[in-house]
Chains A and B, each alone.
Chain A
Amino acid sequence: MAHVSGTANSFADLKTSFENACVANGWTLADGILYKGNVHIKFTAATGYLRMDCGTGKSGASLTGGHTYGVMMHNPTFNPITFPVNYEAHIFADPDEVYLMMNYNTEYYQHLNFGQSDVPGITGSGIWFTGHARHDMGYTSSGGALIYIGAADTYLGTACYNGSDVGLFVNGNAGSFQSSFLHCTLDGVTSWRTQQTNSTPTAGMLAPLNWAASLLYSIPNDFNGGNLLVPVRAIACRNNNGLTIAAQMKNARLLRLDNLNSGDIITFGTDEWKVYPWHRRNATQRDGVNWSNGATHSGTFGFAFRYTGV
């Protein structure tokens, strides 16, 4: 377990720093590909983005078994990043889970993540990767700077029509640019799965965040202000409307930030967690803003990563 933080003057600088942090914590970098076991990650840095692709293997400098899509942090044209940015990497093993959070322009956040599920019985590789946006999302348009969130006690999640999906399996059953992916074998099919856009479960896809709608809608508790850490899950849609938890992150959670600041460290028992907004905290529009307006914030929806720093 490691917590690494620093600053970066460009996406290329961030790429190098992050790769070095991973190598220092058990990962191997060869031919420009970071790997451990069968989890293979390739970063591509450019002026406007840091892209991450994932595969189950490598051949020279190329990924094999990769997904068609990558994910990215990006520099939205309509809300540009002022470098340098701050970054924090939370790196865990057994199971491997790696979370990279970038903080810029004081209160904005984007992230990239990857790891391998240890849920028994799903077979296949269990590799997962997610990011703030899918690599081909149009970040140079005005919509590319926006987050669309639908939130009620019966549905929840981002709607990534032309905005950022946000990643970490928080899409809410709408949009076209989902940026959360999992590789597994269920119902006899080995494939990369992504969160689906249909209203009923479709075998071979991943379920939207809706399963947690009432949980995240109900917190913080009115009666005591208490929070709840809701699991981050990739839930596989199976045949005949079945749902199976295919990944459940050991070191990441979902929560609400109404009573917390971005970057706070909270304690539950002996565990410490560092909390971040999905993108930017806004307590006034705490449920975010849905399609078609969107907003450059994510309400009070947040992530918590297990904190191992000092």
Chain B
Amino acid sequence: MAYKIGTITNANGQTAYKNLLYLIRLLCGGFGDIGTVGGSRVGTGALNNFEASPLSVTETWTLTCTAAAVDGGTFSVTGSVSGAQASATVGTPYSNTFVSFTISDGATDFQVGDSFTVPVTQGQLAADGAEWEIMRYTTGSGDHELIMKAPGLSGTEEIFIGLKTYESIPGDYYNYKIGTFSGYVAQNPFETQPNAKIQGCPAHNNAITYFISVNGQRIAACLKVGTPVYEHFYAGKILPYAKPGEYPYPMLNAAMLRTAAATRFSDTNQQFPYHGYRVNESYNALMLRDPGAVYQYCWAHPFSFRGASNSSWILHGSPSQSVMVPAGTDYQLEPIILGSMSILSLWGEIDGIYAISGFNNGVENVLQIGGSSTIDQTGMTVLEAVEAILGVGGRAFVVLQNLNRTTWRDYIAMEMN
């Protein structure tokens, strides 16, 4: 299990949403987290594109200049755990089993003894042995693509998930295509991968605050952009009410737009997907691949009944009829159960996303359940609160709203672990 909470901006010559795609690649791929670069140097060259592979472990890498050269030089490469590796040459892309980088030359040449130190923390998914395989990652001046293969909770599955950027400067939209596939064909474009289901999620070309939860079978994300509004997507398996042989590939593609539409984040017709089809039949974009390999709309407990969007007894129904409220300050999470619109069947539960009451609640609140002590979150950021709750053995849930909506039924809780 892995999570990331933070804000990403335009940097490295890329817009924020393309940088976020890179971050998703690192997170899902189980790449190591890079800490603050240290060391001491006379030379003014830079350490660029440092990446810790999914095989990296938690350690500090030390790069030390062992031979100076005009507009160049040689650096030893040593991991505090992995030991000495092959040396690196200034100006030449370098990689070993664990890390890759390029040391660039500067106006002042490196001298013997100059050093970089780079702390690396093993990727969360890699530590669990649940890292995803990166099948395709393309960058450049056009759209960026990322297609990955997740191992499932069993570690033996093949779950194909992709994201692709699409944008329009005159249309002022910078969005993702959310893709779920049944396989991967290297020669095929993103849109024609096997059994492709592609929907859309608006993002932004400016700062994006992101809340992402990943495990071996799915990614769930919420992006805070613009005014702000909260954009959601979920791609991957649900927890099916069936044996693997009965329902081997319960893929959910849940997003804000039913297609890769030319829609800006500010469009208020969008709905988060978790209400299911009944609550907003015109715009809901929650699509589940059924056992017959057909993507279907679903009704979703506790937001609706199978046959009605509003009733006095739907747990998270219309506030004018009935909606859950907490017992005192104790919020009651409800799993989101997906049911078929066409046959009598309950497919399963969404993994890691729960319905939560918006009564006396607010977006980006962090709910604690369990733990050896109750965390006083005063003054904490969302990330700090999550880390503190996990630190005492509790479960941490970030409360997130439906786009710009704030009624009692317009919130979900995303578990971070």
Contacts and interface: CB of A to CB of B under 8 A. Distances in A.
B47 interface: no
A207 B319 CA distance: 16
Interface residues of B, number: 41
Contacts of B290: 223
B242 to A, nearest CB: 5
Nearest to A227: B241
B321 interface: yes
Interface stretch (B66-74, B114-122, B228-236, B327-335): B327-335
B170 interface: no
Contacts of B326: 121, 244
A214 B299 CA distance: 9
A173 B325 CA distance: 20
A241 interface: yes
A154 B344 contact: no
B325 A238 contact: yes
Interface string B349-361: 0000000000100
Nearest to B307: A153
A218 B325 contact: no
Contacts of B340: 218, 222-223
B335 to A, nearest CB: 10
Contacts of B339: 214-215, 218
B107 interface: no
Contact of B328 (A121, A200, A201, A241): A121
A223 B332 contact: no
A211 interface: yes
B370 to A, nearest CB: 11
Contact of A244 (B241, B247, B325): B325
A186 B325 CA distance: 11
Contacts of B382: none
A214 B134 CA distance: 40
A284 interface: no
A242 interface: yes
A23 interface: no
Interface in A215-264: 215, 217-219, 221-224, 226, 228, 235, 238, 240-246
Contact of A224 (B247, B306, B324, B337): B247
A93 interface: no
B315 interface: yes
Nearest to A239: B325
A217 B291 contact: no
Contacts of B241: 221, 226, 228
A302 interface: no
Interface of A is mostly: loop
Interface of B is mostly: loop
Interface in A180-194: 186
Contact of B322 (A153, A213, A241): A241
Contacts of B302: 211
A60 interface: no
Interface string A29-55: 000000000000000000000000000
A245 B327 contact: yes
Given A219-B346, A221-B241, A224-B242, A244 B327 contact: yes
A122 interface: yes
A241 B346 contact: no
A218 B306 contact: yes
Given A217-B344, A218-B306, A226-B246, A246 B315 contact: no
Contact of A243 (B307, B320, B322, B329): B322
B301 interface: yes
B308 interface: yes
Contacts of A241: 312, 319-323
Interface string B245-279: 01100000000000000000000000000000000
B186 interface: no
Nearest to A223: B345
Interface in A143-169: 152-155
A88 to B, nearest CB: 28
B325 A243 contact: yes
B365 interface: no
Contacts of A215: 301, 337, 339, 346
B343 interface: yes
Contacts of A152: 307
Given A154-B305, A217-B344, A245 B312 contact: no
A260 to B, nearest CB: 16
A222 B321 contact: no
B89 interface: no
B371 to A, nearest CB: 13
Nearest to B245: A224
B60 interface: no
A244 B346 contact: no
A210 interface: yes
Contacts of B87: none
Contacts of A214: 299, 301, 304-307, 339
A243 B315 contact: yes
B408 to A, nearest CB: 8
A228 B240 CA distance: 11
Interface of B: 241-243, 246-247, 290-291, 299, 301-302, 304-308, 311-315, 319-330, 332, 337, 339-340, 343-346, 359
Interface of A: 119-123, 152-155, 173, 186, 199-201, 207-208, 210-211, 213-215, 217-219, 221-224, 226, 228, 235, 238, 240-246
11 contacts: A153-B306, A153-B308, A154-B306, A173-B313, A186-B327, A208-B313, A215-B339, A222-B344, A226-B242, A243-B323, A245-B327
Given A122-B328, A199-B312, A223-B345, 5 more contacts: A152-B307, A201-B312, A208-B313, A223-B242, A243-B324
